[in-house]
Structure formats: C-alpha cells, structure tokens
Amino acid sequence: MARTPEYFVGKTIIITGAASGIGAATALIFAREGANIVLADINKEKADEVAAAVKKLGAGALAVALDVTDRAAVDKMVKAAVAKFGVIDFLFNSAGAAGRRASFLEIDQTLWEQTFALNSTGVFNCMQAVLPHMLSHDAGVIVNVASQSHKRGGPGASIHYAAAKGAVVTMTMGVAREFAGQGIRALSISPGPIDTPFQAAAETPPEFIEKARADVPMGRFGRPDEIGEMVLFMCSDACEFMTADTVYINGGGGWR
Ligand SMILES: NC(=O)c1ccc[n+]([C@@H]2O[C@H](COP(=O)([O-])OP(=O)(O)OC[C@H]3O[C@@H](n4cnc5c(N)ncnc54)[C@H](O)[C@@H]3O)[C@@H](O)[C@H]2O)c1
C-alpha cells in the first residue's frame, strides 16, 4: 500500500507474464489502484482476456504479444508502451517457467539453455530495454520474480531452474546498486510454492506438489495475489529505502 493516497493513479507498469498466475493477479491489483497496465506475454489471447478485466476496473491496458527471450521484440514492446502511456514508472518481470523437471545428470544442453534464456536472459532483456527510459526521468522501480528455489538449489529436479533464478537475484542486486543514485530501485521476490498454472506447465508430479505443500509451515500454497500485493508495496512511496534485496514469501520457509 502506498503512503500517498491515489499514488498509483495514472502511473504505468509493464508486466511480463501478465496473462496468467502471479503476473495476471498483479495486473488486477495495479488496476484496482488506478494504474495503466502493459500486459506483455507470449500468450496474447490470454493477455487480451486479462487486459479486458483490467479495463473493466477502469484502468488503461495494452496487451502485447511478447517472447521475453527476443531482444528486438522486447525493445519494440517498450517503445509501444511509451507511445501509448508516455512514462513507464514500473517494470514487473514475472514471465518464467521451471521447464521440465530433471535430476542434475539428466539436464541436457537444450533444457539448460532454454531455462536460462527464459528466466535469466528474459529479465536481463527487459531491464536493459526499460532502464534508459526510466533514467531519462530519474525514476523507476523494477521488481523481478526469482524463486526460493535459488536458496535450496533444486536438488533432484530443478538445479537448472534454481540456478537461473539465482542469476535473477544477483542481477537485481547489481542493477539496484549500479543505479541507486539515479532514482532507480530494483528488488526481487523469491516465492515459495504459489497456486498458479506454473506446476502444470512444468508437469510436476502430484507427489512433488504434495511434498512442497507439506514442507510449508503454513501448510498451503500461496495465492498469486499474495505476491502481487508485495509488488504494489515495493513500487510504492512507502518503500523508498528498500532496494537490491530479495524478499521471501513462502508461508514460513520450506527449506528442506
Ligand atoms: N508458482 C510458483 O510456485 C512459483 C514459485 C516461485 C517462482 N515462480 C515464478 O513466478 C513467475 C510467474 O509464474 P506463475 O506461477 O505466475 O506461472 P504461470 O505459468 O501462471 O505464468 C507464467 C506466464 O509467463 C508467460 N511466459 C512464458 N514464457 C514466456 C516468454 N518466453 N515470454 C513472455 N511470457 C512468457 C506464460 O505465458 C504465462 O502467462 C515465474 O517467473 C515463475 O518462475 C513461481
């Protein structure tokens, strides 16, 4: 929540991965606060559906088909966002996926490279594309979705994914510290298991899902809006001295 009433009214956020899960929930939260939303996702049809819901809340919306691994497409998306809304105040990088689950010795070159392309290079592309615009206004907040898996290392199933998310935590810290004196803040969020289509996309076996749930002291998966509300706080003027770090949202841990 912001310190100043109506802080978000008329401000603009770019959200990647906005068609589903955490990105979609965050879009609706920022729309509730009166912000304009650029919904960038590889799934344009679903991004259009979320854009319609955003507009229903009275907020501005622009849905863009985007593969975050395609740098030229990312540049084009930022240009379109600026053309539509003028100033981009916030960037929320939520696009990501665990890829196929695989034990370490089963991770092949393709899986390794695709996982890094989506989860690390995608975040790099979007941050590097939007930062010159933010710097030209001496202001901007970037929030990246990492994962608590970066702290666990993902043994047995997701070392490729955990390592790619570790890169997000590190990159966020570096960008935050490099631009801290120029009006830019950058933070990452490291969620525990959140109830979204993410697990289905990774074809996570049911026993793995049960183990993840049992490992959370609160005994449940998080809801996507429980991440979105943190994004809102991080972007707000109630959070002005916070930058560089990652924040864990995980029902109390799950470090086994
Ligand atoms: N759900 C969880 O348990 C969990 C836990 C920790 C971290 N995360 C991270 O949270 C973020 C959001 O995941 P979610 O749970 O909302 O999953 P989700 O599958 O519901 O949403 C991911 C979105 O990213 C989009 N996307 C995929 N590849 C893309 C690409 N190349 N370019 C643009 N968009 C692309 C998908 O179309 C989808 O709309 C991801 O970065 C994920 O790694 C999720």
**3-state SS string for the chain:** CCCCCCCCCCCEEEEECCCCHHHHHHHHHHHHCCCEEEEEECCHHHHHHHHHHHHHCCCCEEEEECCCCCHHHHHHHHHHHHHHHCCCCEEEECCCCCCCCCCHHHCCHHHHHHHHHHHHHHHHHHHHHHHHHHHHCCCEEEEEECCCHHHHCCCCCCHHHHHHHHHHHHHHHHHHHHCHHHCEEEEEEEECCECCCHHHHCCCCHHHHHHHHHHCCCCCCECHHHHHHHHHHHHCCCCCCCCCCEEEECCCCCCC
Report the residue among 194, 216, 227 best suited for mutation to probe ligand 1: largest number of ligand atoms under 8 A from its CB: 194
Candidate list 7, 85, 116, 161, residue with the active-site label? 161
- Report CA(145)–ligand 1 centroid distance (Å): 9
Residue 126: band (very low, low, confident or very high) from pLDDT cuts 50, 70, 90: very high
Give the per-residue pLDDT at 81.
Answer: 98
Residue 2 lies in a domain: no
pLDDT tens-digit map of 23-64? 999 999 999 999 999 999 999 999 999 999 999 999 999 999
Q: What percent of the chain has pLDDT over 90?
A: 92
Residue 254 confidence (pLDDT): 76
Distance 6 CA to ligand 1 centre (A): 29
Instruction: Dihedral sign for Cα 229, 78, 192, 256, please.
Output: negative
Q: How many residues does the chain have?
A: 256
Residue 255: inside a domain, yes or no? no
Within a domain: 3: no
Contact 15, 39 (CB under 8 A): yes
Task: Tell me what the pLDDT averaged over the chain comes to.
Answer: 96
CATH code of residue 93: 3.40.50.720
Cβ 170 vs Cβ 123: under 8 Å: no
Percentage of the chain beyond pLDDT 70 is 99
Query: What is the token pair recorded at 28?
Result: 């609706």
Asked, for residue 90, whether it belongs to a domain, the answer is yes
d(CA 8, CA 89): 10
Q: By mean pLDDT, which of 39-48, 106-115, 204-213 is the weakest? A: 204-213
Residue range(s) defining the domain that contains residue 143: 12-249
In a domain, residue 163? The reply is: yes
Would 66 be classed as within a structural domain? yes
Beta carbon of 228 within 6 Å of any ligand 1 atom: no
The pLDDT tens digits of the residues spanning 76-97 come to: 999 999 999 999 999 999 999 9
For a ligand 1 pocket test, name from 198, 204, 209, 247 the mutation site with the most ligand atoms within 8 angstroms of its C-beta.
198
Task: Tell me, yes or no, whether 5 lies in a domain.
Answer: no
CB 127 within 8 A of CB 142: yes
β-pairing verdict for 90-93 and 61-65: unpaired
The reply to whether 6 falls in a domain is: no
Task: Report residue 256's pLDDT band, with 50, 70 and 90 as the boundaries.
Answer: low
The domain tally of the chain equals: 1
> For tokens 């949202």, what's the residue?
249
